Structure 1
């Protein structure tokens, strides 16, 4: 099965040589999403909310929902923000949340506070 590039203008366009998402063999790989405008305020909860909305728009473009997500990766500038991001993130998964890891990193693109990538399955 050939890969299919997923793109929506409702989420930020890639800022480098990558796709918003790629679908292959009933799996959707969503590139790490950041919140560009919200990053200017430094409010990690606003950033996390916008990131999750970006992911939602990409899922919709692929014909999927948050319920299709089986794995996510969260990258934080500061692990001290874990509880705040977790609060926002958890609101998108009422039942059966996906597998996940959360790691602190030295720096993120555009100096944002949080980046999230996901894998979803049809």
Structure 2
């Protein structure tokens, strides 16, 4: 179900934005640089997930409905490159990113960022 919703960069960014708000983030921003997207918040909306990795595990997310999972894993599965940052630093989840500071110089000032690009977007 979510894979269809995250069919391109704008749709995936919107899905992550909604998850962040439903996860307790007080403010969420979306930035775009060419075919790269950054979803960020001063709040780390994933901080309460102890023992699971929402980028690789199917984590239940009742805020999206019965039998729903967190969308981070769906966006990861569709991304050519995905990097996340939190207070502990940056983590490359999939792919080989360029220098994140060149793409989004402010990425490290947020409590949580998810930076990604889709293979499909590369043709545009």
**TM-score scaled by length of structure 1:** 0.38
**TM-score scaled by length of structure 2:** 0.38
Q: Larger RCO: Structure 1 or Structure 2 (Cα < 8 Å, ≥ 6 residues apart)?
A: 1
